[in-house]
Structure 1
Amino acid sequence: MRVILLTGSHPRHLYVVNKLAELGLVAAHVMEVREAFVPQPPANLEKMDHINFIRHFADRDEAEQRHFEGHERVHIEIPTLNVTLTQLNSEETIKWIASQSFDIAISYGVHKLSNELLDVLPKHSWNIHGGLSPWYKGNTTLFWPFFMLRPNWAGMTIHRLSARLDAGDIVHQSVPNLDYGDRIHDVACKAVVQVTKDLTRILTTTSLEQVEYHPQKGNGKLWVSNDWMPQQLRFVYNQYNNDIVDQFLDGKIPRIDPPIISALRNEE
């Protein structure tokens, strides 16, 4: 099975590219060069929020470097087109994709794809979404489970690409194992590692004709960028000192397990 990948450029994205490329699955790669990974805090924050903001994104950078060490670039030479956000859906990008030979398209960490670009992708085209859909669609979807005291809902969804954001039929969902000492960004990184392991198993053990698609049931929640604000970090860092996983594992936080759709149940 030959895959064309459309991904971002951060280590978490390139980790997925490298793991699939190591198995000889990647036919071509479109890489959207993304924004700086460590943003600057907004002006006029209170001191507590300024400190939390810097801590949160510095910890994220440290966790990503630790979990995805060595994945700052793609290790194997494959046909690659680097694009900016404005070039992502351009006619040149669409023509380049159409000129490649592949069986399936998979996106991860790119901005919304246009209908014109979707039209040149095959029937089996998937997106890797950092969040369990339909409950956590949109942005910052590995943060909100912690804010809701449901760290075991910090997972990933592989779903069919569609014009509607994170709304396509679900192929597979996964959540990582939680361990004592895991912090919010450790869980996010472990979620990427887990979904990558699952994806490689799906691509190497399942034919596309065997893939089952499950419509997303319920309205869920589409989280938009304006839902998140630095002041919400007080809950994670000042009230819980980023030990929500430990308290969850100790039974101090009620456990409600998410209903997971798995493409691998027949193998387990």
Structure 2
Amino acid sequence: MNPKDISVVILTSRGPRHSYFCRELERHFNLKGLVVDDRYHASDRILTFLKSCDYNPFRILKRLSLKKRILPFEKRDEKIERAAFPFEGGEFPVEVPLLLSPDPNGPEAVEWIKALKPDVIAVFGTRLIRDSVLSLAKYGVLNLHTGLSPFYRGGQCTFWCLYEKDPGHVGVTVHTCRAKSTEGILSTRPRLI
């Protein structure tokens, strides 16, 4: 089968690496649409931060202190990422339908994806995808994330590997997403170091 015969919808976030991922998949597959998780507004971040600290003032102060210490490194990383993955010709492929969604699992996104009838849904850099979306792809859903499962999960896996002086677990995991869980069949796990 010719890869261009495989229709793909991508669920992703904003950022240079996400844009690069989308442009590369567009080069190799029949990219039918992009759903961009557009939830990261300041008010959402503050509420999420407070919830993650259980509204505990000591946890809040501890997390703010850590954030202050790592902020220069995050800014450096953003600069490096922009240089490594420049937005050539725009943030996302222009000819591909785009849905900016505050919730990629929400009714609007589900109906939009359903109308595109994708063979495969590719997930990179978004939140946990629910059953309502997982059932929409003819052949399945693939999730790509940095870090080697099950050793490191969640955001900033590469940072935590290096912080823990564990460069042997810097890598990428690609797995299928199944109903009730993101733990599907591990497709590949190349180590980078």
Is the pair's TM-score, using the shorter chain for normalization, greater than 0.5? yes
Structure 2 Cα separation of the partners of residues 135 and 50 of structure 1: 23
Of 2, 6, 16, the residue aligned with 1:11 is 16
Distance 1:143 1:36, change over 3 A: farther
Structure 2: give runs of 5+ residues left out of the alignment.
Answer: 1-5, 47-58
TM-score, length basis structure 1: 0.56
Q: Higher mean Cα deviation, 13-22 or 120-129?
A: 120-129
Structure 2 Cα separation of the partners of residues 174 and 104 of structure 1: 22
Structure 2 Cα separation of the partners of residues 126 and 168 of structure 1: 9
Structure 2 Cα separation of the partners of residues 155 and 30 of structure 1: 25
Q: How far has the Cα of 1:166 moved from its partner?
A: 4.1
Q: Does 1:67 align with 2:116?
A: no
Q: How far has the Cα of 1:58 moved from its partner?
A: 1.0
Q: Does 1:153 align with 2:158?
A: no
Structure with bigger strand share is 2
Fraction of identical pairs, as percent: 22
Based on CA coordinates, which of the two structures has the bigger radius of gyration? 1
Distance 1:124 1:165, change over 3 A: closer
Distance 1:168 1:50, change over 3 A: closer
**Which whole-Å deviations, capped at 9, do the CAs of 1:53-89 have from their partners, x for residues lacking one?**
221211121111111122660134112211113xx21
Q: Does 1:57 align with 2:74?
A: yes
For 1:104, the equivalent position in structure 2 comes to 120
Distance 1:34 1:152, change over 3 A: farther
Checking the alignment, whether the CA contact within 8 Å between 1:129 and 1:166 is kept in structure 2 is no
**Which whole-Å deviations, capped at 9, do the CAs of 1:78-103 have from their partners, x for residues lacking one?**
12211113xx2122211111110322
Checking the alignment, whether the CA contact within 8 Å between 2:130 and 2:180 is kept in structure 1 is no
Q: Higher mean Cα deviation, 161-170 or 88-97?
A: 161-170
TM-score, length basis structure 2: 0.76
For 2:98, the equivalent position in structure 1 comes to 80
Alignment of 1:173-252 (within 5 A): 173-176=189-192
Q: Does 1:33 align with 2:38?
A: yes
Q: How far has the Cα of 1:125 moved from its partner?
A: 1.3
**Which whole-Å deviations, capped at 9, do the CAs of 1:17-71 have from their partners, x for residues lacking one?**
011113353121111125379x99x9857xx957632212111211111111226
Distance 1:28 1:75, change over 3 A: closer
Q: CA RMSD in A?
A: 3.0
Distance 1:36 1:90, change over 3 A: closer
Checking the alignment, whether the CA contact within 8 Å between 2:117 and 2:136 is kept in structure 1 is no
Which one-letter code corresponds to 2:165 in the other structure? L
Structure 2 Cα separation of the partners of residues 54 and 133 of structure 1: 26
Checking the alignment, whether the CA contact within 8 Å between 1:4 and 1:28 is kept in structure 2 is yes
Checking the alignment, whether the CA contact within 8 Å between 1:108 and 1:127 is kept in structure 2 is yes
